[in-house]
């Protein structure tokens, strides 16, 4: 779907709903992977808001991205329960093998690494959310297998 079509659909579905801005932004990001800055003026107009207000909402929430991620997004839980089970070591492994830090995208565009504060899988830590798939009890070997999976569909 083109950015213009995604935006038109999102406005059509959500602009008229009470408190519709977050659902609208989700619709855009679900379809495109991010909310393009070029879409903000049209969103503001449809919602009867200023561009600054829309930008303020996008920048307030960690979930929304303003640039395109890699083909896959790997969210690593960095909250306390996962720290108690060694997520820092897992992150060090991720940095070393991928060559990127949190918020970075690998050079081949396969994946973007993001932090997340709790996935609610705290009895099966460390946990990741790979796109929409939750993965628990992750060790270095399991992480490498996930990365290989992300790279295999280039």
Q: Which residues bind other proteins (CB under 8 A)?
A: 18-23, 25-26, 47, 53, 56-57, 60-64, 75, 79-85, 116-125, 127, 129, 132, 134-137
How many Å apart are CA 100 and CA 11, to the nearest integer? 35
**96: its two tokens:** 């070393």
Question: Cβ 77 to other proteins, closest distance in Å?
Answer: 8
| Residue nearer to other proteins on the CB measure, 2 or 19 | 19
| Half-sphere exposure at residue 42, Cβ-oriented, CA atoms within 13 angstroms | 18
For other proteins, the closer CB: 70 or 126: 126
CA–CA distance, 56 with 44 (Å, rounded to integer): 11
Q: 10 Å Cβ neighbour count for 75?
A: 20
Q: Indicate the residue among 23 and 104 with the shorter CB distance to other proteins.
A: 23
Task: Report the Cα 34 to chain-centroid distance in Å.
Answer: 8
Give the CA angle between residues 21, 27, 31 to the nearest 5°.
150
Q: How far is the CB of 78 from other proteins (least distance, A)?
A: 9
Measured from the CB atom, is 25 or 98 closer to other proteins?
25
Closest CA to 48 of 83, 11, 80: 11
Nearer to other proteins, 59 or 108 (CB): 59
CB of 14 to other proteins, least distance (A): 9
CB of 70 to other proteins, least distance (A): 18
Shortest distance in whole angstroms from residue 61 CB to other proteins? 4
Q: Residue 135, SS3?
A: strand
């Amino acid at each position: 779907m083109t950015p213009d079509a995604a935006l038109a659909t999102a406005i059509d579905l959500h602009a008229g709903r009470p408190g519709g801005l977050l659902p609208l932004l989700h619709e855009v990001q679900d379809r495109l992977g991010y909310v393009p800055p070029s879409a903000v003026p049209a969103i503001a107009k449809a919602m009867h808001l200023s561009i600054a207000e829309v930008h303020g909402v996008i920048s307030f929430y960690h979930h929304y991205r303003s640039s395109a991620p890699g083909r896959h997004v790997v969210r690593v839980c960095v909250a306390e329960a996962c720290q108690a089970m060694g997520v820092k070591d897992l992150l060090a492994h991720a940095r070393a093998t991928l060559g990127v830090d949190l918020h970075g995208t690998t050079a081949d565009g396969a994946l973007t690494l993001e932090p997340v504060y709790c996935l609610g899988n705290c009895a099966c830590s460390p946990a990741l959310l790979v796109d929409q798939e939750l993965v628990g009890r992750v060790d270095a070997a399991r992480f490498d297998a996930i990365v290989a999976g992300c790279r295999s569909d280039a």
